[in-house]
């Protein structure tokens, strides 16, 4: 198990210049970096890989940023744009030496509207078709896609581990895994430990976030059953802190962060990794 940090905590968009953050991440004790690539043109993956190597770090995951024009259940144009975007990310991941494309790879974040059951089923079939295409490409490139259930306020499509498992079953690709996040599970799952155990060896990525998007461990989440479940399923992947603050304005608005959650941004990273090492390590 490796501990990582998502760069959204400190910057948006991530660019070649953002690699100046790497020495500090290393100093704090992080082993892996999660990079949200908002547009493939923002980075030269060879440059980023060189800076990672220089600092003794690895890119453990690239986060797909699914805006309104990237939606695998949207219009034909949105589906095409979303697929092309994620395939470009996979190409960059190969250069970065990154094994996992993570996030809500199925739809635009923020699309949350109740639709008739018949329409939902049609959307499901459309996403299955598109994910089969994406996963075939990922498998050919030697990487995996980790699908993340989001809470009800960010999507109406996949909210729970059960829904994610059904999607993985329907897609039927060994390249498709599941990405669980304690913030989203805190809203949608009755028992986080049970959800982790149910996903089992399909758990490909894990976000450890405070119940209010702040520091893991400085919240009301019961972390003991989570630690026990991760051990039970023999999870060996990355555990990443994904938090957002008002310092990064664009992301704060997108994630509905309207107030300062912790006194400083650095405290989320520093106190968070200390807690995770003690609790999960």
DSSP 151-166: -TTTBSS--SHHHHHH
Please, what sign has the CA dihedral across residues 3, 8, 10, 16? positive
Measured between alpha carbons, how far is residue 232 from residues 171, 200, 217 in Å?
26, 8, 20
The Cα–Cα gap between 161 and 192 comes to 10
Active site residue 267: no
The Cα–Cα gap between 42 and 49 comes to 14
Active site residue 148: yes
In the 8-state DSSP scheme, what is residue 113? -
Which of these, 278, 280, 281, 241, lies nearest to 261 by C-alpha position? Answer: 241
Which of these, 67, 86, 61, 87, lies nearest to 6 by C-alpha position? Answer: 61
Catalytic residue among 34, 154, 242, 262: 242
Catalytic residue among 38, 51, 148, 189: 148
CB-based burial, 227-255: b 16+ in 10 Å, e otherwise: bebbeebebebbbbbbbbbeebeebbebb
Q: What is the set of active-site residues?
A: 148, 242
């Amino acid at each position: 198990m490796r501990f990582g940090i998502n760069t959204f905590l400190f910057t948006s968009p991530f660019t070649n210049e953002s690699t100046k953050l790497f020495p500090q991440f290393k100093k704090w004790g992080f082993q892996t970096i999660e990079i949200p690539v908002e547009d493939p043109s923002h980075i030269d993956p060879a440059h980023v890989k060189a800076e990672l190597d220089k600092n003794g770090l690895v890119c453990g995951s690239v986060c797909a940023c699914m805006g309104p024009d990237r939606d695998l259940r949207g219009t034909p144009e949105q589906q095409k744009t979303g697929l092309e975007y994620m395939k470009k990310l996979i190409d960059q991941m190969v250069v970065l030496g990154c094994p996992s494309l993570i996030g809500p790879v199925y739809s635009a974040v923020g699309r949350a509207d109740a639709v008739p059951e018949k329409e939902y089923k049609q959307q499901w079939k459309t996403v299955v078709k598109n994910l089969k295409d994406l996963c075939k490409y990922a498998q050919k490139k030697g990487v995996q896609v980790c699908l993340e259930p989001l809470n009800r306020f960010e999507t109406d499509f996949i909210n729970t581990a059960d829904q994610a498992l059904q999607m993985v079953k329907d897609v039927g690709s060994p390249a498709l895994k599941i990405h669980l996040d304690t913030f989203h599970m805190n809203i949608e799952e009755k028992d986080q430990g049970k959800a982790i155990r149910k996903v089992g060896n399909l758990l490909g990525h894990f976000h450890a976030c405070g119940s209010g998007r702040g520091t893991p461990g400085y919240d009301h989440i019961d972390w003991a059953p989570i630690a026990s479940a991760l051990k039970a399923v023999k999870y060996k992947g990355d555990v990443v802190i994904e938090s957002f603050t008002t310092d990064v304005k664009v992301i704060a608005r997108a994630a509905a962060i309207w107030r300062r959650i912790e006194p400083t941004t650095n405290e989320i990273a520093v106190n968070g990794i200390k807690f995770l090492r003690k609790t999960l390590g």
